[in-house]
Chains A and B, each alone.
Chain A
């Protein structure tokens, strides 16, 4: 496999999927994901993706998203809901997906189009 594709896959696995592992594990063991987990994860995920991005626009927007979702977490804490709806019923799930796509597009450009090495695995040329 070409190095740029390897860098792309590595960045997806380590920068984008790894932070979502707690949600996968929660879903595996409990059979559902709580709104608190999704909201908290979406806030932290937005912050981490914003910092990981090289685009100032993405950084700014992700910080805004992170702050809004952090505030939303406070509202959920104060007014918890009954029951365990499916994860796709939560807007925060779709929010995580959109943020994922935002960074996926950037990583595609950086690693596939521009042949940028993945930071942790820089080769000596």
Chain B
């Protein structure tokens, strides 16, 4: 190889070190706990969670609760904060479900999860408003 000089060789060695570092730190197995901790630590989600709990505890007996798309997406984020109640496998399934399932399946899955985690029958009647 022509045009080699010491500076270039040194720079190339540093680049190889950088590549090794990048591979090690970016290809670690996905740490679901850290993702969830990060989401829970988000103060905006915690404030919304308080509001959400107030709404949930309001008098919704025997009424169908309609939520807008915005609330639905906010709800998804909040549920990520509730996943400390799930075990490792369930957490992974939950995260994958939110990212990949169809709208209908997502809603059904969320309803089921909310009902199971909160044991609150008012969650049975959530319906997303289009």
Determine the residue in chain B with the shortest Cβ distance to A35. B3
Which residues of chain B are near A108, meaning CB under 8 Å?
Answer: 26
B17 at interface by CB-CB < 8 Å: yes
Determine the residue in chain A with the shortest Cβ distance to B18. A61
Asked whether, in the complex, the Cβ of A61 is within 8 Å of the Cβ of B14, the reply is yes
State the CA gap A57–B23 with chains docked (Å).
12
B103 at interface by CB-CB < 8 Å: no
Question: Residues 95-123 of chain B: 1 if any A CB is under 8 Å from the residue's CB, otherwise 0?
Answer: 00001000000000000000000000000
State the CA gap A99–B94 with chains docked (Å).
35
Asked whether, in the complex, the Cβ of A89 is within 8 Å of the Cβ of B73, the reply is no
State the CA gap A88–B39 with chains docked (Å).
46
Q: Which of B5, B12, B14, B19 contacts A75 (CB 8 A)?
A: B5
Asked whether, in the complex, the Cβ of A115 is within 8 Å of the Cβ of B3, the reply is no
Q: Which of B11, B16, B17 contacts A69 (CB 8 A)?
A: B11
Q: Which of A68, A91, A105 contacts B1 (CB 8 A)?
A: A91
A-side interface mostly? helix
State the CA gap A53–B11 with chains docked (Å).
18
Which residues of chain A are near B30, meaning CB under 8 Å?
Answer: 113
- Given contacts A69-B8, A94-B12, A81 and B3 within 8 Å (CB-CB): yes
Q: Which of A78-97 contact B (CB under 8 A)?
A: 81, 85, 89-92, 94-95
Chain A interface category by residue count: 35 or more
Asked whether, in the complex, the Cβ of B2 is within 8 Å of the Cβ of A55, the reply is no
Which residues of chain B are near A62, meaning CB under 8 Å?
Answer: 18
Min CB distance, B90 to chain A, in Å? 20
Asked whether, in the complex, the Cβ of B22 is within 8 Å of the Cβ of A64, the reply is no
B93 at interface by CB-CB < 8 Å: no
State the CA gap A34–B14 with chains docked (Å).
23
State the CA gap A71–B106 with chains docked (Å).
56
State the CA gap A21–B9 with chains docked (Å).
24
Asked whether, in the complex, the Cβ of A105 is within 8 Å of the Cβ of B18, the reply is no
**B-contacting residues of A (Cβ < 8 Å)?**
35, 39, 42, 46, 55, 57-58, 61-62, 64-65, 68-69, 71-72, 75-76, 81, 85, 89-92, 94-95, 98-99, 101-103, 105-106, 108-109, 113-115, 125
Query: Could you show 23 A-B contacts with beta carbons less than 8 Å apart?
Result: A46-B11, A46-B15, A57-B18, A58-B21, A58-B22, A61-B15, A61-B21, A65-B15, A68-B8, A68-B10, A68-B14, A85-B3, A91-B4, A91-B9, A91-B12, A92-B8, A95-B11, A99-B15, A102-B15, A102-B18, A105-B19, A105-B22, A106-B22
